[in-house]
Structure 1
Amino acid sequence: MAETIEDSPVGWVASHVERYLATDGADGGRYHGYDALLITTRGRRTGKLRRTALIYGRDGDRYLLVASNGGAARHPAWYLNLCADPEVQVQVGADRFRGRTRTATAEERPRLWQVMTGVFPTYARYQQGTDREIPVVVVEPVPTDVAP
């Protein structure tokens, strides 16, 4: 029996996830003009699978995410979850795959930050509004023939 996945408790995000799933991303794969994906992490305290929708960018074969939390002082829960367990499930449109995540290194972050502020310029404003450095997350697809 497959594990239950809990969607974001934030109403508008849960609605976005529901539409995305129902249409394989035909409705929700673009969100207000930005590319969006679904990411499922394992809860760091509960061990439950948690799913949310996020804007993404690309760097070659890798996907890029920004743990902005709208510029809040705290990291978003999804980011804390993947710091505890970097193995995730990703859906981009109808394509579903396993991924391994990591926070961009200090050396690569400036370039990847530029990529992501090019994708979604509001990230720059979010960074200005918080004292924490907003992480850029790199998601690398895991080949299906490789064990986690």
Structure 2
Amino acid sequence: MVASPARSRRPRIPPRVVVRSAWAIHRAVYRLSGGRRGLTRPRLGRYGMLRLRTIGRRTGEERAAIVAYYLDGASCVVVAMNGWAEPHPAWLLNLRAEPLAAVDTVDGARAVVAREPEGAERERLWVGYRAYSPPGDELDDYQTLRATPAVVVVLDPAPGVPDRGADAGGR
């Protein structure tokens, strides 16, 4: 019997209710532990998790999301993927309206300024993000599920900007 050639399969994403429930559970773990659980450092083969605090573009209130990241020098690199669903996540829209934000990591809180790299820099950072992808997590395949490319966001340190302070709450 001759083995059939490998077929390219469309990646499977859990139902949206499962994705959103996982996000809610992650935020609850962070909040209930007083910020002691839920954040991790990145290492090859595994993203780190940070808490990104933005200012709501319509409300002016602080909003928080826990997102995957890796470090590129002193900058955090995140991908605005919204669980691979359309549209872009609200935190990206908030950063576009107000690029000054804050991140909480296992190493502490710091102020950052967001920017969206383009061209060769974006491609380099996308390749870097793939290096932190867990085995079997094919980012390029997941990317095909979106009508628009996932946005790579660089969170550069904001020197001289006082941090707004870390808390265990947020949304």
TM-score normalised by length of structure 2: 0.70
* Greater strand fraction, Structure 1 or Structure 2: 1
Per the alignment, do residues 147 and 29 of structure 1 end up closer, same or farther by CA in structure 2, a change over 3 Å counting? closer
Amino acid at match of 2:121: E
Deviation of the 1:45 alpha carbon: 1.3
The answer to whether residue 158 in structure 2 is matched with residue 142 in structure 1 is yes
RMSD: 2.2
Amino acid at match of 1:98: A
The answer to whether residue 33 in structure 2 is matched with residue 17 in structure 1 is no
Q: For 1:95, which of 91, 94, 108 is the aligned residue?
A: 108
1:1-148 residue pairs with structure 2 within 5 A? 10-21=20-31, 22-25=33-36, 27-30=37-40, 34-120=47-133, 121-143=137-159, 145-146=160-161
Range with bigger deviation, 100-109 or 51-60: 100-109
Report the identity percentage.
33
Distance 1:50 1:24 in 2: 16
* Equivalent residue pairs, number: 136
**Aligned with 1:108: secondary structure?**
helix
Deviation of the 1:18 alpha carbon: 3.8
Per the alignment, do residues 45 and 146 of structure 1 end up closer, same or farther by CA in structure 2, a change over 3 Å counting? closer
Larger radius of gyration, structure 1 or 2? 2
| Structure 2 residue ranges without an equivalent (≥5) | 1-19, 164-171
| Structure 1 residue ranges without an equivalent (≥5) | 1-9
Distance 1:90 1:48 in 2: 16
